[in-house]
Structure 1
Amino acid sequence: MTIEVRHLTRLDRPERQTLLDVYADVRAELIHLPNYAVSAFAERLDRHASEPGFEITLGYDGEEPVGYAYVNTVEHDDRWWKRIEPLPGPDYTGQPALALKEIGVRKPWRGTGAAKRLHDALLARRTEQYVTLMVNPQAGDGKVHRLYQTWGYRDLGDSRPSPASPVLRAMIRNR
């Protein structure tokens, strides 16, 4: 299977709708929860798309959308860092870093390496030294957290980005 990766630095209407549709499929089992609702994701997506360093990869198998990953640049005073306990030190926060805000792959393509391909294609175009993400440590009975560890991420602390959000594990790695 060949996954075509498309890079975007802004979301026009057709790409935005594709992304919302893929998100709804990826998170189908969770969208009944307030933080995972498509409307909540759309609000986050629109906010993130307007922030510095926004970039997205969309994967396609032929014309079928497979999944997505997107990032923003976070600076030393960004709320991203301020929500992590314990507060990360200046060795991480003292320079722009990349925040992987979302990654998702539809079920037929899970376990095929599609997520890693989208992730790596996105990072290959960036210059920030560090990339950080937040993961629900309970997702997939811990499998998602362990997967990120195999990709080189290490635990940094915990975060609760919003009252509706579960407690997330912040992770970081060299780009």
Structure 2
Amino acid sequence: MTKSPVTVERWEGLECAAQLDLVLPMYKEIWVEPPYCEGVKEIADFVDRFAQEVRLPRARLVVARYGGLPVGYAFGYPLPPETGWWKAMGEETTAEFAAENGKRTLGIVELAVRAPWRRKGVAARLHAHLLEGLGVERVTLAMRPEPEAAPAHAAYAAWGYRQVGSWHPADDEPASHIMLLTLPVPAYGVV
């Protein structure tokens, strides 16, 4: 078995903040593409949001490299008890469904791979490394519905995600699908 030339590094909490210079060039390259078409304002918003989110408990960043070259990244954190994530959905949810304790649900806020390395398993490795050892019950993310995002939709479906709602973050921003992956419960001590 040959070793993959793609390696993955992981940082936790405030360690993530020191990696902005590593992530930002990828962000600028990836998110300017359709359907996202992000510009100067969105890039500045990302930098501000990232600076805040790395302070959340158990925030985690993973970066994939090919021969030392950064080719993709993922960032997320367990949703805190006071999260507005589920309240922002257009669909009604139950209190039980929306209950968070900082350990129940990982919110993936970034998962992106540079174009030349897409459809090569890099996103799946980033996803796996982001979740590894967190012990969460489920994972959520928001994703755009446009046809250009079809490969991402296919990947998430293959990983077991299902759409549970939609979200329209602001008047000037497009709607997103809210996706949910329920993780298997480990059967420790089951006889």
Taking structure 2 as the reference length, what is the TM-score of the superposition? 0.82
Alpha-carbon distance in structure 2 between the residues aligned to 1:118 and 1:92 = 27
Is the aligned partner of 1:64 residue 2:85? no
Partner of 1:164 in structure 2? 172
Q: Which sections of structure 2, spanning at least 5 residues, go unmatched? A: 184-191
Cα offset for 1:143? 3.0
Rounded to whole Å, the distance in 1 between the matches of 2:119 and 2:63 is 17
**Aligned pairs (5 A) from 1:25-64:** 25-29=29-33, 30-32=37-39, 34=41, 37-64=42-69
- Residues 97-106 or 155-164, more deviating: 155-164
Q: Within the alignment, does 1:84 sit opposite 2:92 as a pair?
A: no
Structure 1 residue matching 2:45: 3-state secondary structure: helix
Matched to 1:89, the amino acid is T
Indicate the residue corresponding to 1:7 in structure 2. Answer: 10
The answer to which of 17-26 and 84-93 deviates more is 84-93
Which whole-Å CA distance do the structure 2 matches of 1:33 and 1:165 have between them? Answer: 15
Q: State how far apart, in whole Å, the 1-side matches of 2:76 and 2:147 are.
A: 20
State the superposition RMSD in angstroms: 1.9
CA distance in 2, matches of 1:163, 1:17: 30
Q: 1:16-51 CA deviation, whole Å, 9 max, x = no partner?
A: 1110111111123212385xx321211221121122
Aligned length: 172
TM-score by length of 1: 0.89
Give the structure with higher Rg (CA).
2
Instruction: Give the residue type in structure 2 aligned to 1:17.
Output: D
Q: Structure 1: where are the runs of 5+ without partners?
A: none
Quick one: distance in 2 between partners of 1:129 and 1:141? 26
Offset at residue 53 of structure 1 (A): 2.3
Contact kept? 1:137, 1:144, Cα under 8 Å: no
